[in-house]
Structure 1
Amino acid sequence: MGRTLPRALTGFAALALTGTSGSALPAPAGPAASVAARTPPVSLHITRSSGDSVQAEYRLARPTRALHFAPPLDGYRARDWKSLPGEFRWVREGDGERIERTDGKPFARLSLDIPVRYSALEKAYAPFSPFSDGGVLVYSGHFQACPALPCKGTEPLAVSIAAEGETIGVGGKRSANTAAFVSREEGTNVYIGSAQPVPTSGFLAIVDPALQPVLRDHLLESLPQSMRDFAAIYGPLSITPELYVSLDPKPPSGTSLSSQGGTLPGQVFIHLYGDGWRKPIKLGDVVWLDWFFAHEAAHFFQRAGTNDVIGPDSQAWIHEGGADAMAALVMRGRSDTERSYVTRRIAEARKACAAGLTEVALNAASRAGKFDLHYQCGMLIALAIDADVRRGSGGAKSLHDVNRRFFATVRAGTPWNGRSFLDAARCTGLSAPTLATITAITSQKLADPARQIDTMLRQAGMDPAAP
């Protein structure tokens, strides 16, 4: 099955709505406030006049010699973001890129014509996720820019959007024709189109109308089921999240059942772009979608538990591997098909984790471009903690109790890191031998990763051959 599921980015974007007209950033109070203080250093104005492209205009409060972006997105901007021929050029710089005039002169406005099409990017969300009915999901994070260095790519950007005759959905609100907001941190998805959200159990959903009815109905139940499962354990959420499922109108041939998705605050989204989605599908062949939704639902409860605090990428085994483990635990309680799928995922993770850790330590995996190890090894660690704590408590406690304790300590100000997470596990009943092995796996380069992973599983009471 050919599919692409890049890691779900779990940064916690802040989004400030500013209404449907006027300045995208609030002006400071008082008559003495300067024009410079009232005007954002850079703003973006997006116009959608046709279904095939958008016009993006950056306006700067002061002229600059370059507009800076991070990260470089595999050269996507240089390929697709077009200005007048010969007037501007893209230049790679460090971990990012910049656009500048070819004559080196400063500029205060930059107009770009950008095609609305899906682009699969390595470890990054797609800028556009088109729907078959002409709607589109626009990811604002890749548009955030800086008029000067340093530029992290998370700086606030005032955004206004004009799409005549269409509805614009952003920040849980919908407006006709125009909208304005501030995109910050890792951004948000903005819906532009004519579809109306369908209320489901705990969700507002926009699902592509061209999706097969049997798959559409299943997806509208799969995510709410995971939300109910976790709500029964961690308590209900205080928000009503949005679900976006888009089906690419022009799928590349030979891409079968390809997809990309993830979560942003208040949103779960997945883009289906393979040609196989239009062929008859058996639900048993796409159980990985249930895993995807269970994983993403877990992120909502992680965020709710910590008030949106998250650790660095070097510690992603806690939240990414933890979300996979949470998905495994709830799916084990469902059908035989889902239980078999969970068993297969764990076996695959054991092999992949052992192979990956022969090359790099887990705490260096992100820097080495091996981020998937946080999913694979992190899930094994979390499931070992679950099994060990259950055994030690006679079934009275589990990984969920560890999570609740950890979330509470993070809310109280304890840093989100491996030490505080494992301390929460120890206080919940994790045995000393299992704790020692996990500490080694998460903090140092291993001489024999396969042996140490199997040792961890055995210490926790799991059978490495049939986890």
Structure 2
Amino acid sequence: MIRFVALGMAALLMAVAFAAPFGRGLDTPGVRIYVMQTDDTALQVIYEWRTPERDAVFSTVPNGYRQEHWNIITPGLELVSDDNVDRIRKPGGGKFKRLELIARPSDVRLDKEYQPIAEYGVGGLLVYTGHLWPETKSGEYVNATFDFTPAAGAQVVAFGDRALRLENWRSPEAHPAFIYMGPLAPVETEDVMAVIDPQAPRWIIAEFNSLVPSAFAALSDVFGFSPDTKPNLFLSAAIDGEPGRLSYAGDALPSQFQIMLRGGAWARPNRQARDVFTHSTIHEAVHLWQTGARPRTDDTPEWIHEGAAEAIAGEVMVRLGIWDGAAFERNAAAARNECATTLENGSLNGASARGDFRALYVCGQVIAEATARADGKTVADFWKALIERAGEEDGYTEEMFYDLIEARTGDEDFAQAVRHFARTPLAEPAVEISRLMDAARAASS
């Protein structure tokens, strides 16, 4: 999973520079955020604004996360929620310059949302800065720097940085990021800097260490470039209990992705576990390349990139000799069948709003593979072109996606068929999927 967010122009212009202390330099942040690990499961967070503010505004996190897991320490401040934002303010009005709170992880994983704080191995926490970062009234992140202080004996890992403390830190990607604080030492290779939970089964660690170099080399080849920033990878596992459970949760950000494995079915190598781990890990890795084409607007459908990541992961599995053609087609057929089931509940473009997140993956994969068939090329080839066009036009939109389909296939009817498939509630989804694939074959002939 990957989501993209908007930053304010000031934050974008200054994101690659380290901020000077308050009162010095043109890149002085509006707020400095101190994040301190107090124990294995809690963070002390202090906000210091350069000028007094009437409220601190944050995008709402699902399931009332802040209401349940933030404890405001500063007297005279309250947390309220309205209009899809959480606000911290003085009940009677007035301004403040300092806010202190305690934040803890949630026991419940949030669907299609980055986990604000997650326990990561013994004594470790993985923090998503986006949920700690205040926003402007227009929904952009404010100009901010972060200080990260891990617990005694621990260290902080962020991209290529690993230190006892980070001060006045900004992400090199001008985007929210994952930050690890804990005792685990990162492993740096030519391809990545990885933080790997030693509790993960040995076969998983061996699979991870073997897969990453070959998958990254294949992705660099099919996309024609490598990420500018050495990627940060995080792998954790909690495999005791629930013997039959096989849960893989992955989240990606520009130049970072993290994997959380849960369930006893990971304990020993087996075909299903190996297949899920390999395909899902390559899917998350694909997102590192897809960030070369960020959506221009927040309402650009997620199925465009999630479905493509599913399809490209399959192409890479074949390229690496992990799957043969028959295995690839079985995966594609399974996606078509599951897509038909999910679309019985409504349109693909409406899937996120109704919480039908699997549709984004399997139906997006159906569209990606149909488009590749019509194009006569691979899904990765199509995305190379989308990345190039998005770079010329400040991101991609849904309409740009359809326009590129028409431009590459030379078939307006097929592009219109894809648009109809995504936007329209389908009375007979299985029939419509067959029609889409037939239209793709016709476009390629």
Matched, 1:188 2:177: yes
Q: CA deviation at 1:408?
A: 2.2
Q: Which residue of 2 aligns with 1:297?
A: 285
Could you tell me whether the CA contact under 8 Å between 2:303 and 2:363 is conserved in 1? yes
CA distance in 2: counterparts of 1:359 and 1:214, whole angstroms:
39
Q: Which moved more, 1:55-64 or 1:212-221?
A: 55-64
Matched, 1:48 2:37: yes
Name the CA shift for 1:445/1:372 in 2 (closer, same or farther; >3 Å): same
CA distance in 1: counterparts of 2:105 and 2:394, whole angstroms:
43
Q: CA RMSD in A?
A: 3.4
Could you tell me whether the CA contact under 8 Å between 1:69 and 1:151 is conserved in 2? no
Q: CA deviation at 1:426?
A: 3.2
Which residue identity is paired with 1:115? R
**TM, length-normalised to structure 1:** 0.80
Q: Which residue of 1 aligns with 2:390?
A: 410
Q: CA deviation at 1:291?
A: 1.6
Q: CA deviation at 1:430?
A: 5.6
CA distance in 2: counterparts of 1:301 and 1:126, whole angstroms:
22
Aligned pair partner of 1:28 in 26, 32, 41: 26
Which residue identity is paired with 2:147? S
Aligned pair partner of 1:152 in 119, 139, 143: 139
Q: Which residue of 1 aligns with 2:276?
A: 288
Q: Which residue of 2 aligns with 1:442?
A: 422
User: Aligned with 1:361: secondary structure?
Assistant: coil
CA distance in 2: counterparts of 1:378 and 1:156, whole angstroms:
35
User: Aligned with 2:89: secondary structure?
Assistant: strand
Could you tell me whether the CA contact under 8 Å between 1:311 and 1:417 is conserved in 2? yes
Q: CA deviation at 1:199?
A: 3.2
Aligned pair partner of 1:242 in 206, 229, 232: 232
Q: Which residue of 2 aligns with 1:222?
A: 211
Q: Deviations over 1:29-57 (max 9, x none)?
A: 8xxxxxxxx4x433321122433322111
Q: CA deviation at 1:64?
A: 3.8
Q: Which residue of 1 aligns with 2:156?
A: 168
Which residue identity is paired with 1:407? I
Describe how 1:55-134 pairs up with structure 2 within 5 A: 55-84=44-73, 88-101=77-90, 106-115=95-104, 119-134=108-123
Name the CA shift for 1:67/1:409 in 2 (closer, same or farther; >3 Å): closer
Q: Deviations over 1:417-464 (max 9, x none)?
A: 2333333333333645533421321343444332221111133349xx
User: Aligned with 2:300: secondary structure?
Assistant: helix
CA distance in 2: counterparts of 1:365 and 1:26, whole angstroms:
48
Name the CA shift for 1:301/1:461 in 2 (closer, same or farther; >3 Å): same
Matched length? 434
User: Aligned with 1:82: secondary structure?
Assistant: strand
Q: CA deviation at 1:367?
A: 3.9
Q: CA deviation at 1:227?
A: 1.7
Q: Deviations over 1:288-336 (max 9, x none)?
A: 22122221222222233x4x56554433332221111111222234557
User: Aligned with 2:102: secondary structure?
Assistant: strand
Q: Deviations over 1:228-250 (max 9, x none)?
A: 2222222230432121112359x
Describe how 1:348-359 pairs up with structure 2 within 5 A: 348-359=334-345
Q: Which residue of 2 aligns with 1:363?
A: 349
Q: CA deviation at 1:252?
A: 8.0
Which residue identity is paired with 2:363? C
CA distance in 1: counterparts of 2:186 and 2:23, whole angstroms:
28
Could you tell me whether the CA contact under 8 Å between 1:144 and 1:156 is conserved in 2? no
**TM, length-normalised to structure 2:** 0.84
Matched, 1:379 2:365: yes
Q: Identical aligned pairs, as a percentage?
A: 24
User: Aligned with 2:88: secondary structure?
Assistant: strand
CA distance in 2: counterparts of 1:398 and 1:142, whole angstroms:
36
Q: Which residue of 2 aligns with 1:424?
A: 404
Name the CA shift for 1:155/1:74 in 2 (closer, same or farther; >3 Å): farther
Q: Which residue of 2 aligns with 1:8?
A: 2
Could you tell me whether the CA contact under 8 Å between 1:130 and 1:248 is conserved in 2? no
Which residue identity is paired with 1:451? V
CA distance in 2: counterparts of 1:199 and 1:11, whole angstroms:
28
Q: Which moved more, 1:98-107 or 1:76-85?
A: 98-107
Could you tell me whether the CA contact under 8 Å between 2:123 and 2:182 is conserved in 1? yes
Q: Which residue of 2 aligns with 1:393?
A: none
Q: Which runs of 5+ in 1 are unaligned?
A: 1-6, 30-37, 391-396, 463-467
Q: CA deviation at 1:120?
A: 1.2
